Structure 1
């Protein structure tokens, strides 16, 4: 087992090394420039497209798709997860406060990437056994004309998110419940599996209905809790931002040498954790945006950008500010323990309970989102007939994840995450001109058509 861990770790060191980060960031730069900084130019439209029809109940989820807002909440359900709590803390502990600056930069550039993913997923949708579906596998197959890479992507994402990723999420829930409430881990696993089963058995209709209700609630709950702590420590807000900006270019000066980070480490951990959190370029969220009922693909591209604004711009930033304004960085803790300590300092003994509750909702929503992304690719590989078996495996892996140490599962999930990114990035780079063409059509002529 130890040898296997070493081998997988070395593979991940290559997969998620400087080359991968360069291509992910580089893709974001390319789309941002080609689209003439659409995340800035069209900010009003991003807001309007996202929230303008939020109370429009005409667009119900059915075999022809889901509402634009439901697509966004399904995407955010996957984006806003344990990474927003543990991932941000890891970035700060390893790279210093300056890592947050680089996380913001990766999020800003990722807006261009995720816009492209959403547009392409809209352009290349298909009806599979009477249901609309889409995602990278479809634009890789039909746009890049590579069935091999499409199949490779589909297998990798099912393994990375549907199976191993969800094991990690259920483990996080069970661990938090055990620490906060002393609930046996298998009991938590059975409860989570039953709850997930009740939701996913209703298909995309029930999944979309669930995410449009739970995502605003869980995001609002976390934002209120985090803001309460930040406001209580208002005199530390400016020093916290000073630490972030100074730390981006001189980590030792920002922390007085507490963590001993370098600029390279601040950049590396900030970019990596940012990309893992908002998932731009990873090929996951396009599955939700593909089936949104919109008049033009670019409209859903604008909505997709809002996902990163909420995930990285708001939730991740608030986690960082809670850690920095409470002075928790000096404790030497890391990951979820650092975040939990920050909330305990801010909210007293209720802080641990608050983090456990938020972690439950974050991880549960991620399981639902990742389940659906995997289901879309099961339909690509086997049609609807494979969904029943897939559901059984997912629920089994959720329970199994609570009963084991997940270090090797984390490593395997990272491996298949890396493998699924490669074909998606190749497709994005190969089809960038199509995204630009569709965007120019939307902006200049207002024609609402798909190819």
Structure 2
């Protein structure tokens, strides 16, 4: 049995059955137990997120970063190839109906990510004087289970810091190569050098980078996407019809995706939704842990805004661009399908536009995922292990730039699935802490 076959088999069980129910079930559980904060408190979440946007009194240092900087770092990780290549892959593999299940996973995922952020804020630690946190810390302190915490740390370092960043550099190299014909290996080296210039500056430089770049890259992408959708306004209605029909169809649907039924739509919609917004995966809590807030629940509300921005806005925009330009019927997948959509919508400017957008999206994700992995390197080895981790990450970035697309995505899916389990165990076990925190917050406001 080949390595590809083994990975495919594991993913079939993980994403075809187990994690679909576990992730949506966790989100449903937290949403009900917390009385749907994604509905009741979302207005306050936006106020908490953007209310202190221009407050320069809170700067990133060894004591953490501002609430907005923490969200920007989380979004830097969330908004990546999952929003561009990942959405296209979901449509190619699960049909247009996969987008509906992305929305469902995002809605309930907001309950999950609220819990993750609250626990990350509740169980922080200082290593060599610098604040840090994440699932390994709330598993270790909250559950008093160091073995499970260590398992999570190893899993996320491999899943995001190493393999995950291969996915990002792979999509970047493919898009830039298609647009500008630069050799992929050269692109990989350039990405690694640019990443090094930011990462050697630690938390302060990472926070400064994300709060500046994330809003800029999102605004540019949204403007470009809206231009395409407005030009194809007559196809918006049919696009939504394909999404809703495909989400529940028991028969195989067409539109360039033959033999796809609701089962595939559910599987690929939720799996790509997770890869995009990362709710329940245990990654974004590392950013939310270091936010300087007065109450853990405040950062929980901010974390929910991140899911709205990532999936409800950016992923939906990408899906409508693909469907309204009919790029999903071309037989392409991944970043290539998204590039075709933009080339159709923007003409000769389409391929360079998506290449530049994907560069910023994926590069910011590399920065975010590096930061998440570093928190776990500190947990396992202390600050001294960071220098070695950094060089290994750079190596994987270069390696990923010229590897086969499908294999890299499949390995990323497998690693992401494995790291979810210890995080979900902690979330359920520590859910009373989250519930108590929200009640305490609401009693004070």
Superposition TM-score tier, normalisation by shorter sequence: over 0.9
Deviation at 1:257, TM superposition (A): 8.6
1:392 aligned residue = 391
2:68 is the counterpart of 1:69: yes
Distance 1:64 1:72 in 2: 16
Check the 8 A contact 2:252/2:258 in 1, yes or no. Answer: no
Question: 1:46-65: per-residue Cα shift (whole Å, max 9, x none)?
Answer: 11001000000011000000
Equivalent position SS for 1:404? coil
Distance 2:322 2:3 in 1: 35
Distance 1:160 1:258 in 2: 29
2:334 is the counterpart of 1:335: yes
Equivalent position SS for 2:131? strand
Distance 2:405 2:128 in 1: 36
* Residues 254 and 404 of structure 1: CA distance in aligned 2, closer, same or farther (over 3 Å): closer
List aligned pairs for 1:23-62, cutoff 5 A: 23-62=22-61
1:288 aligned residue = 287
With the length of structure 1 as denominator, give the TM-score of the two structures.
0.95
Equivalent position SS for 1:442? helix
Deviation at 1:164, TM superposition (A): 1.5
* Residues 408 and 98 of structure 1: CA distance in aligned 2, closer, same or farther (over 3 Å): closer
List aligned pairs for 1:394-433, cutoff 5 A: 394-405=393-404, 407-433=406-432
Distance 1:275 1:175 in 2: 23
2:82 is the counterpart of 1:83: yes
2:233 is the counterpart of 1:234: yes
Unpaired runs of 5+ residues, structure 2, are none
* Residues 221 and 384 of structure 1: CA distance in aligned 2, closer, same or farther (over 3 Å): same
Deviation at 1:13, TM superposition (A): 2.4
Deviation at 1:259, TM superposition (A): 3.0
Deviation at 1:35, TM superposition (A): 0.7
Question: 1:24-78: per-residue Cα shift (whole Å, max 9, x none)?
Answer: 1100000000110100001210110010000000110000000000000100011
Distance 2:265 2:167 in 1: 26
Check the 8 A contact 2:112/2:280 in 1, yes or no. Answer: yes
Deviation at 1:421, TM superposition (A): 0.6
Deviation at 1:166, TM superposition (A): 1.1
Equivalent position SS for 1:17? helix
1:161 aligned residue = 160
Check the 8 A contact 1:118/1:301 in 2, yes or no. Answer: yes
Which shows bigger deviation, 264-273 or 294-303?
264-273
Check the 8 A contact 1:94/1:261 in 2, yes or no. Answer: yes
Distance 2:51 2:211 in 1: 15
Equivalent position SS for 1:127? strand
List aligned pairs for 1:38-437, cutoff 5 A: 38-250=37-249, 259-405=258-404, 407-437=406-436
Distance 1:21 1:122 in 2: 27
Deviation at 1:238, TM superposition (A): 1.9
* Residues 95 and 123 of structure 1: CA distance in aligned 2, closer, same or farther (over 3 Å): same
Deviation at 1:103, TM superposition (A): 0.9
Deviation at 1:368, TM superposition (A): 0.3
Unpaired runs of 5+ residues, structure 1, are 447-451
Check the 8 A contact 1:243/1:254 in 2, yes or no. Answer: no
Deviation at 1:93, TM superposition (A): 2.2
Which shows bigger deviation, 140-149 or 292-301?
140-149
Check the 8 A contact 2:113/2:280 in 1, yes or no. Answer: yes
Deviation at 1:124, TM superposition (A): 0.2
Deviation at 1:236, TM superposition (A): 1.6
Check the 8 A contact 1:78/1:369 in 2, yes or no. Answer: yes
Pairwise CA RMSD of aligned residues?
A: 1.6
Distance 2:197 2:89 in 1: 34
Deviation at 1:254, TM superposition (A): 7.2
Deviation at 1:245, TM superposition (A): 2.0
* Residues 265 and 17 of structure 1: CA distance in aligned 2, closer, same or farther (over 3 Å): closer
Equivalent position SS for 1:281? coil
* Residues 327 and 3 of structure 1: CA distance in aligned 2, closer, same or farther (over 3 Å): closer
* Residues 256 and 278 of structure 1: CA distance in aligned 2, closer, same or farther (over 3 Å): closer
Distance 1:240 1:303 in 2: 31
How many residues are treated as equivalent by the alignment? 445
Distance 1:363 1:111 in 2: 23
Question: 1:295-341: per-residue Cα shift (whole Å, max 9, x none)?
Answer: 00000000000111011000000011111111222323222222111
* Residues 97 and 15 of structure 1: CA distance in aligned 2, closer, same or farther (over 3 Å): closer
Question: 1:174-203: per-residue Cα shift (whole Å, max 9, x none)?
Answer: 222221111122221221111100100000
Check the 8 A contact 2:139/2:145 in 1, yes or no. Answer: yes
* Residues 403 and 301 of structure 1: CA distance in aligned 2, closer, same or farther (over 3 Å): same
Deviation at 1:361, TM superposition (A): 0.7
Check the 8 A contact 2:252/2:261 in 1, yes or no. Answer: no
Distance 2:145 2:427 in 1: 13
Distance 2:247 2:317 in 1: 18
